[in-house]
């Protein structure tokens, strides 16, 4: 039995934090964004927290899907579950490499590993009939409607205001089990920093013979992150996005940033429609689920405020 009493934090990073909406998505841009996050991860480690990192892949998976579609006359296009695995490797490498370099600069040698992770879903999940997960670039309404017609994309409005509010959406089934949970727990026990369940994990279903088969979907990384946090017995679930706080009346004159709230308050605001399904909604839902399942607290905040939020100095903190 481990005697390591440090608190375990599962950190869920948005794919948009790695490739921001105003960027082209070059490797250089994504590495630069990852560096900002890794500075915070080093601070968290210095504060004495154990870390498990999970991340989104919406922009990366969407861009890679475009490459598959445009290049299919030259090479076979890969299905969405394989694209998910490819982006797990891509983003995992970026974090693993950058974080190792940051620790070496301060004289620390900490084992860091990325684990290709599968997540069990159900093939009859209703989201296969009404897709909700945004992937790829942001579009104007005109661009989105044209792609809907020309390429048979399913498109939805995912932001309340701005110029480019629309994105392509794909099925996003509910996660049930992290297939590699025991491997992740063993790595935590060995005092490694683990990067796992990237992009929400590769969605797989269980067949009649108990074998696993991939499905074309992208699981919401916050919901999968909550499931991961529960299965590794995390103390804190930290959701990092591009705003410091979750807000009610977002984008309106009476917008209000939420600080410390109860699960009951969070559920009330969610039911009242304060959080969009394609953005803050899944984050708040995942935070509520984590705390109701026995977690100490869940926090939603920006990348730059991550370490401060763990110390109670920033972010939206949801507790019982």
Query: Residue 119: phi, psi to the nearest 5?
Result: -130, 130
Give the percent of the chain with pLDDT over 70.
98
**Whether 215 and 159 share a structural domain:** no
**Which region among 109-113, 248-252, 259-263 has the lowest average model confidence (pLDDT)?**
248-252
**Residue 320 CB neighbours (<10 A):** 11
Distance CA 135, CA 154 (A): 11
Count the helices and strands in the chain (H runs, E runs).
10, 17
Closest CA to 15 of 218, 290, 316, 312: 218
Has 62 been annotated as catalytic? no
**Whether 160 and 115 share a structural domain:** no
Structure tokens at 202: 């590769």
Q: How many domains does the chain have?
A: 2
Would residue 128 count as lying in a domain?
no
**Whether 256 and 152 share a structural domain:** no
- Per residue in 50-95, pLDDT (tens digit) is 999 999 888 888 889 999 989 999 999 999 999 999 999 999 999 9
Has 233 been annotated as catalytic? no
Give the percent of the chain with pLDDT over 90.
80
Catalytic residue among 14, 16, 62, 305: 16
Would residue 159 count as lying in a domain?
yes
Domain that holds residue 108: 8-123+174-319
- Per residue in 267-306, pLDDT (tens digit) is 999 999 999 876 799 899 999 999 999 999 999 999 889 9
Has 292 been annotated as catalytic? no
Distance CA 91, CA 76 (A): 23
Catalytic residue among 19, 156, 159, 221: 221
Catalytic residue among 19, 50, 133, 297: 133
Would residue 1 count as lying in a domain?
no
Catalytic residue among 159, 283, 297, 305: 283
Give the pLDDT confidence score for residue 313 in this predicted structure.
94
**Whether 108 and 142 share a structural domain:** no
**Whether 142 and 262 share a structural domain:** no
Would residue 68 count as lying in a domain?
yes
**Whether 42 and 88 share a structural domain:** yes
For residue 15, pLDDT over 80 is answered with no
* DSSP designation for 169: E
Would residue 260 count as lying in a domain?
yes
Has 151 been annotated as catalytic? no
Distance CA 73, CA 55 (A): 31
Asked whether 194 and 52 are in contact (CB, 8 A), the reply is yes
**Whether 89 and 35 share a structural domain:** yes
Strands 297-302 and 260-262: unpaired
Query: Has this prediction a pTM greater than 0.85?
Result: yes
Has 133 been annotated as catalytic? yes
């Amino acid at each position: 039995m481990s005697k390591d009493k440090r608190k375990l934090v599962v950190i869920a990073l948005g794919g948009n934090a790695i490739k921001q909406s105003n960027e082209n998505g070059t490797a250089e841009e994504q590495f630069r964004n990852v560096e900002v996050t890794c500075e915070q991860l080093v601070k968290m480690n210095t504060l004495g927290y154990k870390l498990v990192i999970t991340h989104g892949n919406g922009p990366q998976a969407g861009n890679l899907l475009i490459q598959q579609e445009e290049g299919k006359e030259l090479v076979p296009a890969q299905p969405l579950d394989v694209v998910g695995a490819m982006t797990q490797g891509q983003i995992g490498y970026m974090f693993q490499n950058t974080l190792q370099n940051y620790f070496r600069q301060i004289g620390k040698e900490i084992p860091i590993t990325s684990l290709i992770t599968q997540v069990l879903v159900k093939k009859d999940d209703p989201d296969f009939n009404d897709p909700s997960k945004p992937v790829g670039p942001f579009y104007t309404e005109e661009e989105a409607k044209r792609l809907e017609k020309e390429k048979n994309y399913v498109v939805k409005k995912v932001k309340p205001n701005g110029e480019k509010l629309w994105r392509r959406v794909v099925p996003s089934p509910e996660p049930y089990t992290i297939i590699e949970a025991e491997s992740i727990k063993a790595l935590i026990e060995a005092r490694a920093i683990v990067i796992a369940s990237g992009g929400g994990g590769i969605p797989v279903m269980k067949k009649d013979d108990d074998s696993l088969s991939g499905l074309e979907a992208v699981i919401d990384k916050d919901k999968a992150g909550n499931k991961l946090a529960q299965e590794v017995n995390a103390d804190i679930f930290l959701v990092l996005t591009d705003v410091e706080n979750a807000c009610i009346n977002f984008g309106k004159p009476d917008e209000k940033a939420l600080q410390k709230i109860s699960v009951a308050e969070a559920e009330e605001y969610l039911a009242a429609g304060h959080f969009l399904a394609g953005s803050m909604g899944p984050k708040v839902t995942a935070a509520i689920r984590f705390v109701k399942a026995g977690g100490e607290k869940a926090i939603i905040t920006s990348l730059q405020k991550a370490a401060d939020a763990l110390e109670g100095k920033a972010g939206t903190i949801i507790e019982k």
